[in-house]
Amino acid sequence: MEHPNPQATFTLHFREYHLPKRPTVVVCIDGFDPEYLQSGLDRGLLPTFASFLKNGFHATGKSCMPSFTNPNNVSIITGAPPSIHGIAGNFFLDRSTGKETMICDDSLLRGSTLLEQMSQRGVRIAAVTAKDKLRKILAHGLKDDAVCFSAEKAAECTLAENGITDVEQWVGRPAPSQYSADLSLYVLDAGIKLLQEDKSDFLYLTLSDYVQHKHGPGSPEADDFMNTIDERLAKLAAMAVVGVTGDHGMSRKSNDAGEPNVLFLQDVLNAKFGKNATRVICPITDPFVRHHGALGSFVRVYLRNQTLLEPALAFCQALTETEVALSGEDAAKKYAMPLDREGDIVVISTSSTVIGSCRSEHDLSSVMDFPLRSHGGLSEKAVPVILSRAVNDVQAARSRNWNNYDVFDLVLNWSN
């Protein structure tokens, strides 16, 4: 690889990064709870991961809060927490309009991304995502020669919009269902072909957590999914330096009968303080409702009258399903979230519970086929941080507290 720009490093958010000297891939496994990794390793099902841990580097790091897809993918590609880049959920309430809005583009992104910075310096970038909701954020500032598309919309790719066309023919199979393991495998297969055909120098591949929302570690479905990921990582690692992390973990949120443990917080607040006194927003909400039914472990509460702050906060803190309830100001400070986009109150549930708005607004039939698993809270922060090759300073790497958004630093600055 030769870069037209002689500058070998760049700085973003006060951290210096080296441009890649060899093909490099970062994979974000959506819902990559450390238990999936350990379960597969213990039973010898993941030989590629085992080789990474033996010959490369591995730590259990932390994801950002809330532990949802959008905030953490954006943190990974910016190397910074949400307080800096501004994306704090999949779904938010715009205080200026009072409208609930899905985040599907980069209009709320603050600052640059590592992908943009490398692209502007002559590195050929490819960003492939399972879910199209991330694509426009990943594409932020990329040069025209970059490839950026989603497996979800593979059939609709154009050169002008995505830097690639005829993706289905190129990959060798049709775009997969949104609700399938193949949505993630499609991303990895595209990454393998991009490397095989020497179309990219640096690839960011981010997957879907459909399987993890349905199947726990050690289940046949999870084993098969992790094994197929492992096989594809072997192909990637034969051609490139590979970094792997997750956007969040995953926890069981059902009782022994398989029924979801749900706190419908809006209904409870309505009964206590009256209808329309509060407004509960579930930032896990996205187009993939069959994954989780818009039920996660983190919600924001907005108050019609600020005099309710103390009593409403005390009420939320006293609920048995609550692990943490804080004012928006305190939550933003504690969890590095953007204050100007925070609710009046943040409520985080216990590890075995999810929080919804009103019962009438959630279709539980979409999550009754398997015991509900979900994320968003403190119990889903742990994620692996892995490098396929040895690090250049083992002692320093082992003593560091790693975040998932350090993975670009790991592959660009720490790899031998």
For domain 10-250+380-414, give the CATH number: 3.40.720.10
Peptide bond preceding 66: is omega within 30 degrees of 0, i.e. cis? yes
Q: Got the DSSP string for 350-368?
A: -TT-EEES-GGG--GGGG-
Strand extents, DSSP E, 97-254? 99-102, 125-129, 147-150, 202-206, 241-246, 251-252
**Each residue's pLDDT tens digit, 168-216:** 999 999 999 988 999 999 999 999 999 999 999 999 999 999 999 999 9
Residue 95 DSSP class: T
How many angstroms separate the CA atoms of 344 and 313, rounded?
A: 9
Residue closest to 222 by CA, chosen among 232, 214, 230, 234: 214
Of 217, 213, 207, the closest CA to residue 36 belongs to 217
CATH superfamily of 262-374: Domain 2, Phosphonoacetate Hydrolase (3.30.1360.110)
**What is this structure's pTM?**
0.94
**What is the residue extent of each domain of the chain?**
10-250+380-414, 262-374
pLDDT at 372 over 70: yes
293-333 pLDDT, tens digit per residue, is 689 999 999 999 999 999 999 999 999 999 999 999 999 99
Fold match between 10-250+380-414 and 262-374?
no
Which tens digits make up the pLDDT trace of 76-107?
A: 999 999 999 999 987 777 777 877 777 878 98
**For residues 221-249, average pLDDT:** 98
Per the prediction, the chain carries an average pLDDT of 93
